[in-house]
């Protein structure tokens, strides 16, 4: 009887020992699983990318003509208003010499057949808008005095001040996009570059000709989009997936291998725009899993726990 009890005790002890060992092993595995960093992954995709700069441009008239008095006397009438659109040859002012009234009346009384008015008209030499109106009816003016300024409507452009280093990207006849303050976008063509530089800002003025249906006022500021580089299908990743050092000289991503290890892979980047960044090298497959969230501070070959419910896209 004692022998049977001893055997029974030995069997129970063995079972308890094995159970404890199994529980200890499971606990260690759970601890290893809990030690893994949870991450979200993404993959490379191919998207059209553009690298561009935005500069301000101001609307203006490059050519102006001046209406001037051709006699000394009084302005009898003004036939235009400030902002009026005038045509070439249109009468703008009617002038009368100071002496014409006295001389004309005296001579007319002596000889009714003699006609002397001393009245002259000033006409527009070019078509455009009256952007300066210096006198009104009744004013006394000198010969050669400026009466009005006409801005030539055919010379209307947007003047863009381009930094010298960006000049190669805005050649003549290149099409650019302008965004007006109200959000409207219009296309323009680079017409000419002024043959001088601003000595302080080191910028060169470039004239952009537009073909807008509506009248655009002078001194309106628009944003001009100048494309530097354009690619139809660039390999891209979200910017969150690309890590860099403090000086932004080295870049890398954390690539998932074996579904549980994050491998540090140095990359060479290209165009950056919005939330996307071009990966020039190495070449990743769309099937490669790249860590998107949880990658900050991960060391090379770090153990991770990947969220397999979804692969985030850009």
Q: Are residues 115 and 173 in the same domain?
A: no
Q: Are residues 135 and 89 in the same domain?
A: yes
pLDDT in tens, 204-228: 999 999 987 778 889 999 999 888 8
Q: Are residues 251 and 193 in the same domain?
A: no
Q: Are residues 252 and 266 in the same domain?
A: yes
Q: Are residues 223 and 245 in the same domain?
A: no
CATH number at residue 134: 2.40.50.100
CATH number at residue 278: 2.40.420.20
Residue 92 in domain: yes
- CB-based contact 296:220 (threshold 8 Å): no
Out of 144, 170, 193, pick the residue that ends a domain.
144
Residue 313 in domain: no
Q: Are residues 259 and 291 in the same domain?
A: yes
Which residues, 6 or more positions from 301, have their beta carbon under 8 angstroms from its beta carbon?
Answer: 261, 262, 263, 264
Q: Are residues 74 and 127 in the same domain?
A: yes
**What does pTM read for this prediction?**
0.62
Residue 24 in domain: no
Out of 89, 113, 144, pick the residue that ends a domain.
144
Please count the structural domains in the chain. Answer: 3
Per-residue pLDDT band for 28 (boundaries 50, 70, 90) equals very low
Mean pLDDT of 179-200: 91
Out of 170, 196, 229, pick the residue that ends a domain.
229
The pLDDT mean for the chain works out to 84
Above 80 in pLDDT, residue 2?
Answer: no
DSSP state letter for 112: T
Instruction: Give the domain extent around 83.
Output: 70-144
**Residue 193, both tokens:** 């570059």
Residue 22 in domain: no
What DSSP element (H or E) covers 147? strand 146-152
pLDDT in tens, 159-185: 999 999 998 888 888 889 999 999 999
Residue 5 in domain: no
Residue 191, helix vs strand vs coil: strand
Q: Are residues 137 and 181 in the same domain?
A: no
Mean pLDDT of 179-206: 91
Task: Write down the pLDDT at residue 297.
Answer: 86
Mean pLDDT of 246-258: 93
Which residues, 6 or more positions from 130, have their beta carbon under 8 angstroms from its beta carbon?
Answer: 80, 81, 82, 83, 84, 86, 148, 149, 150
CATH number at residue 180: 2.40.30.170
Q: Are residues 220 and 172 in the same domain?
A: yes
Residue 11, helix vs strand vs coil: helix
Residue 311 in domain: no
Q: Are residues 213 and 245 in the same domain?
A: no
- CB-based contact 60:159 (threshold 8 Å): yes
Task: Write down the pLDDT at residue 178.
Answer: 93
Residue 184 in domain: yes
Residue 11 in domain: no
Q: Are residues 219 and 241 in the same domain?
A: no
pLDDT in tens, 91-121: 999 999 877 755 655 555 545 544 556 789 9
pLDDT in tens, 261-308: 999 999 999 998 888 999 999 999 999 999 999 888 888 999 999 876
Per-residue pLDDT band for 36 (boundaries 50, 70, 90) equals confident
Mean pLDDT of 18-39: 58
């Amino acid at each position: 009887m004692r022998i049977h009890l001893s055997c029974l005790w030995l069997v129970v002890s063995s079972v308890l020992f094995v159970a404890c060992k199994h529980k200890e092993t499971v606990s260690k595995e759970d601890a290893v699983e809990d030690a893994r960093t949870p991450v979200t992954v993404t993959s490379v995709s191919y998207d059209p990318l553009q690298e561009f700069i935005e500069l301000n441009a101001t609307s203006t008239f490059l050519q102006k003509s001046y209406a001037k008095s051709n006699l000394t006397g009084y302005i009898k009438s003004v036939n235009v208003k400030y902002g009026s659109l005038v045509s070439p040859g249109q009468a703008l002012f009617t002038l009368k010499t100071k002496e014409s009234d006295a001389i004309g009346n005296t001579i007319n009384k002596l000889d009714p057949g003699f006609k002397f008015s001393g009245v002259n008209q000033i006409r527009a030499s070019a078509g455009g808008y009256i952007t300066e109106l210096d006198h009104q009816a009744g004013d006394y003016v000198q010969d050669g005095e400026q009466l009005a300024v006409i801005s030539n409507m055919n010379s209307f452009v947007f003047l863009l001040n381009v930094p010298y280093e960006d000049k190669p990207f805005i050649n003549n006849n290149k099409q650019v996009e302008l965004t007006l303050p109200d959000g409207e976008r219009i296309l323009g063509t680079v017409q000419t570059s002024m043959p001088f530089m601003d000595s302080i800002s080191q910028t060169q003025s470039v004239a952009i000709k537009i073909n807008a249906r509506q009248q655009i006022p002078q001194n309106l500021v628009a944003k001009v989009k100048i494309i530097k580089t354009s690619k139809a299908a660039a390999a891209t990743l979200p910017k969150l997936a690309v890590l860099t050092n403090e000086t932004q000289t080295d870049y890398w991503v954390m690539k998932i291998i074996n579904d549980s290890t994050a491998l540090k892979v140095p990359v060479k980047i290209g165009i950056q725009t919005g939330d996307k960044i071009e990966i020039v090298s190495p070449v990743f497959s769309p099937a490669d899993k790249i860590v998107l969230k949880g990658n900050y501070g991960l060391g090379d070959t770090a153990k991770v726990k990947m969220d397999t419910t979804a692969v985030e896209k850009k």
